[in-house]
Amino acid sequence: MSNHKSVEPVEGNPYRIRDPQAASLIEISLISAVVTILAIRGYLHLTGYPQVGGETLHIAHIVWGGLGMVIGFGMLMLFAHRVWKPIAAVVSGAGFGTFVDETGKFITQDNDYFFEPAIAIIYAVVIVLFGLARYFERKREPTEADHLYLAAQGLQWQAIGKLDVDRQKVALEHLELSGNTTQLADQMRAMLESARLVEDSEQSRILEWRRRMVDRYWEIVESRWLIRIVLAVFVLKVIQIIGTFGLGIASDSFLVDDGLSVVEWGAVIAAVSSGGLAILGLVR
C-alpha cells in the first residue's frame, strides 16, 4: 500500500507568490536607470545639449524613456520564460532612467531641465524604490505552496533542455523546504533527479557570460578600494546637498519670505531625505 497522502497539490494563493529573484531584478533595473541618467547627462554636457527634431519639433528624451519601458514590459508579456526577466529589467530600467531624468521639466513652470533640486528628487526616488523592494522581500516568508511552485520552475528548464546542476539544486532545495509529501512532490523530485543535465560546455554564451559577470561583480563589491570610493562619494554627496540647500536659502531661491510652494516643499523634503540617507549610508 502506498504511503502517499494525496495526489492533490497544496492550495496556495497565486497572487502572493513572489519571485525569489525579484529584489535582484529590481536592483538591476535601478542600476540600469542610474547608469542611463549619468550617461545622458554626460553626453548632453559634452555635446552642448543638442535637440532632436530640428527647428520645428523638440523630441524630449522622456519619449524615448517611455518607449524603453514599453519595450521592457512587452518582453515580460510576450515571452514566457524567465530568462527574459534580467534583459527586461535592464531595458525597462534604462527607460525609467531616461524618463525621470527630465524631472526638472515635470515640476517647474518654465520646464527647467537644470532645476537643481531635481537631482535630489531623483536620488530619493531611486533609494525609496530600492528600500521598498527589500522591505517586501523580507516581509513574508515563503509558504509550502510557494516552495512547491518555485521548485516546478526547475521542470521548466528541463522542458527546454537547459537544466544545469545549479538550477537542479535550487529546485530540489525548494522541494525540501516545502515539506510536501504528496505524490506530486515525489514525481517532481524523481523527474529532477533523473533529468539529463546540461554540461557547462553546452550552455549558451549569454548564460556563461552572465555567470562570469556576477562573479566579477561580487569581487568588485567586496574590494576595499570600492568601499573607500563609496564612502568618498557619500561624503561629497552630503556636502553637495547641504551646500545647495544652504545657498538656496541664503539667496532666497526658495522665496522663503513669501512662503514655500508645494513644488518647493517637495524639493526641500527630497533634499533633506536624500541627505539623511547619504549620511545613514556613510555611518553604516
DSSP letters for the chain: ------SSPPP--TTT---TTHHHHHHHHHHHHHHHHHHHHHHHHHHT---TTTTT----HHHHHHHHHHHHHHHHHH--SGGGHHHHHHHHHHHHHHHHTTHHHHH-TT--TT-THHHHHHHHHHHHHHHHHHHHHHHS---HHHHHHHHTHHHHHHHTT---HHHHHHHHHHHHHHT--SHHHHHHHHHHHTSPPPPGGGS-HHHHHHHHHHHHHHHHHT-HHHHHHHHHHHHHHHHHHHHHHHHHHHTTTT-GGG---HHHHHHHHHHHHHHHHHHHHHH-
Of 2, 244, 284, 283, the C-alpha closest to 119 is: 244
202 Cβ partners below 8 Å, 6+ apart?
none
Quote the Cα angle for 99-103-105, to 5°.
Answer: 110
**What is the chain's length?**
284
Quote the Cα angle for 280-236-132, to 5°.
Answer: 35
| 126, 34 contact by CB (below 8 A) | yes
For residue 250, with 0-12 CB atoms within 10 Å meaning exposed, 13-18 middle and 19 or more buried, which class applies?
exposed
Low-confidence stretches of the chain (pLDDT beneath 70): 1-13, 15, 53-54, 200-208, 210-211, 214, 217-218, 221-222, 226-227, 230-231, 234-235, 237-238, 241-242, 244-284
What's the pLDDT score for residue 119?
A: 82
Cα separations in angstroms, 72 against 29, 32, 35, 60, 253? 10, 12, 17, 20, 39
What's the pLDDT score for residue 1?
A: 44
151 Cβ partners below 8 Å, 6+ apart?
171, 172, 174, 175, 178, 185, 188, 192
What's the pLDDT score for residue 134?
A: 80
What's the pLDDT score for residue 51?
A: 76
| 144, 10 contact by CB (below 8 A) | yes
What's the pLDDT score for residue 271?
A: 62
What's the pLDDT score for residue 74?
A: 94
Residue owning grid cell 509529501:
181
